[in-house]
Every structure is written in structure tokens, then in C-alpha cells.
């Protein structure tokens, strides 16, 4: 159920040899919302209407996910970044606020660091700001992600059995999902081949510094955040000790990132826009109106 009578329209933009689907609602200065794994722009459906009275809200589906194209690709991090770059170029956006969670947060900071002259601010939550460590995972989580990164085992879990998507939704949404919502998230992944982006994302998480190419992006992102004095940054936190909610990460952000605001929003699962769309939207709305500079 949406929190407003407004519903975003869905469009397509050519991107390299494929296309990127995106939701759009409202008018004004642009705010771009980037989702994570294994969701889609659908995760933002209850956030966009709450900001659309003052902003042009755009939420693309990452390549191979949602309603975007599914080209022949390894779906490594760099592939997602290339297609997202092409989408941004096609949209010709300026003075952008980027909002991202999970991999969307990594991509948001990465794009902002390479296009700082086009960025007004960055909002992230439930994302990767530094390398993760196996010790941060609860025993069951470590067992699952070790399995996902094991050749042959991960393929069976994700591609053949489609076990990751329902598990992620079950554990990542506290209030639960309707059958219609689950169907929307399931629709982009009807068979093993379509699930390749989902599996590759799980193998791209930088744990103990590997894979090195993604760790390099996360390191570069952190260095840019520490020096980006002209870009306002908002870190939203939720209850728990995972990812960017971890106290050590929050303290690092406080010490390191200029023009940073941190706002605690209470309880929500990893796919927080499902649990706390109003809280997220109101925090962003207030911060855009009165950013710390």
C-alpha cells in the first residue's frame, strides 16, 4: 500500500547495449534513489510520494534487476557502475541529491565522487562504508555468505533453488510483505539465468578486503567522503549493529566526514524503505531544506 495517492510513472532510458527502467514522480531539484540487492526501485514506492511535492524523484532499477534490461554480463560491480553512469548521462541530471542503501549506497558515493560538480548531497543507510569482517556476522549469517561465495554451492542456493531472495525479504523486512509485494520482487528473477546479478552481488561484498576490486571502490569512497567539504552528507541509522549502523562505523563517520549529519530513525530491517518510508522521507526532506554546510 502506498502512503500517498501519487504513484510514480515508469520509463526507460537507453544505456549502453541495453536499457535502464526508472520510476519518476514530482518536479523540482532532482533526488535519485538507488536500491540494493535483491530488490528494485519498487522498494522506494512509499518514499517518493512524500518528497515529490518539492523534488523530481527518480529511482532506477540497476541493470539486470527490476524492469531494467538483462544483457549478457558478468554483473560485477564495475558493470553496474557503467550502466548506471550511462543512465545518469542519458538523464543529464545536475545539482543531484543521491539516496542509496545497501549496494545503492556504494554506487551513490562512487558516482558522486566522480561527478562532484553535479552533486548537491548524498544520503546513505544500511550500506558499506568500510571493509566488512567475518566476525561482524552472526554465525548463521557467516555460514550463509561463506556458502554463497563458494563455487557451485552459491549457484545451487541462488540460481537453482532461488533460496536467497525469499530469505533476504524475510529477514530484511520487519513488518512483513504482502503477496503482491513479494510477487513484484520475484518477477525479475523467473529462472536461473535471470538470478545471476543477485548471486554476483553477494560475492562482491568486501569481506576481509576481498574482492580487491570492490574493496578499492569502498576505500576510494571513504577517502572522497573525508575530503568532500562542499558536499553535504546524511547518514541514517537504524537499530542494530550491522553495516553502517555499527557503532564503530558511526564513530568513524563522525570523526572523518565533514558536513555530516547523522539521524537515528529507530527500528527497521535491512530493506528499511519497506519498514520506515515516512521516517526516511521526512529525514531527507528536512535535511535538504536545512543542510549542514
Per-residue pLDDT of the chain (293 residues; tens, 9 = 90+): 344 458 889 999 999 999 999 999 999 999 999 999 999 999 999 999 999 999 999 999 999 999 999 999 999 999 999 999 999 999 999 999 999 999 999 999 999 999 999 999 999 999 999 988 898 888 888 999 999 999 999 999 999 999 999 999 999 999 999 999 999 999 999 999 999 999 999 999 999 999 999 999 999 999 999 999 889 999 999 998 889 999 999 999 999 999 999 999 999 999 999 999 999 999 999 999 886 65
Comparing CA positions, the residue from 167, 169, 171, 164 lying closest to residue 195 is 164
155 is catalytic: no
Residue 119 in contact with residue 96, Cβ under 8 Å?
yes
- From the list 270, 271, 275, 279, the catalytic residue is 270
- From the list 24, 61, 79, 126, the catalytic residue is 126
Please report, for the chain, the start and end positions of each structural domain, with discontinuous segments joined by +.
Answer: 9-133+209-289
80 is catalytic: no
C-alpha cell, 272: 528499511
Task: Please identify which residue in the block is written with the cell numbers 545536475.
Answer: 94
Classify burial at 260, counting beta carbons within 10 Å of its beta carbon; exposed 0-12, middle 13-18, buried 19 or more.
middle
Residue 132 in contact with residue 205, Cβ under 8 Å?
yes
- From the list 102, 110, 274, 279, the catalytic residue is 102
pTM equals: 0.96
Region class of 34: left (phi > 0), else alpha (psi between -120 and 50), else beta: beta
Residue 266 in contact with residue 238, Cβ under 8 Å?
yes
| Domain 9-133+209-289 homologous superfamily, CATH | Alpha/Beta hydrolase fold, catalytic domain (3.40.50.1820)
61 is catalytic: no
Amino acid at each position: 500500500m502506498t502512503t500517498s495517492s501519487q504513484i510514480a510513472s515508469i520509463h526507460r532510458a537507453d544505456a549502453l547495449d541495453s536499457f535502464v527502467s526508472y520510476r519518476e514522480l514530482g518536479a523540482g531539484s532532482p533526488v535519485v534513489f538507488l536500491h540494493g540487492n535483491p530488490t528494485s526501485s519498487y522498494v522506494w514506492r512509499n518514499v517518493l510520494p512524500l518528497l515529490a511535492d518539492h523534488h523530481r524523484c527518480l529511482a532506477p532499477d540497476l541493470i539486470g534487476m527490476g524492469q531494467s534490461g538483462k544483457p549478457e554480463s558478468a554483473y560485477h560491480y564495475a558493470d553496474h557502475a557503467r550502466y548506471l553512469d550511462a543512465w545518469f548521462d542519458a538523464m543529464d541530471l545536475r545539482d543531484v541529491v543521491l539516496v542509496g542503501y545497501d549496494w545503492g549506497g556504494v554506487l551513490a558515493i562512487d558516482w558522486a565522487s566522480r561527478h562532484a560538480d553535479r552533486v548537491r548531497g548524498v544520503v546513505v543507510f544500511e550500506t558499506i562504508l568500510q571493509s566488512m569482517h567475518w566476525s561482524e556476522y552472526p554465525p548463521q549469517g557467516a555460514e550463509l555468505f561463506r556458502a554463497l561465495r563458494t563455487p557451485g554451492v552459491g549457484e545451487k542456493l541462488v540460481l537453482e533453488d532461488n533460496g536467497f531472495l525469499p530469505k533476504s525479504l524475510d529477514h530484511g523486512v520487519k513488518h512483513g510483505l504482502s503477496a503482491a509485494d513479494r510477487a513484484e520482487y520475484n518477477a525479475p528473477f523467473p529462472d536461473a539465468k535471470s538470478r545471476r546479478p543477485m548471486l554476483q552481488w553477494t560475492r562482491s561484498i568486501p569481506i576481509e578486503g576481498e574482492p580487491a576490486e570492490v574493496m578499492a571502490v569502498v576505500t576510494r569512497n571513504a577517502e572522497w567522503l573525508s575530503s568532500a567539504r562542499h558536499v553535504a552528507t546524511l547518514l541514517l541509522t537504524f537499530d542494530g549493529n550491522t553495516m553502517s549502523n555499527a557503532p564503530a562505523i558511526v564513530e568513524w563517520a563522525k570523526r572523518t566526514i565533514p558536513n555530516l549529519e547523522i539521524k537515528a530513525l529507530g527500528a527497521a530491517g535491512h530493506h528499511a524503505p519497506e519498514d520506515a518510508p515516512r521516517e526516511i522521507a521526512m529525514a531527507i526532506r528536512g535535511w535538504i531544506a536545512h543542510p549542514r554546510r
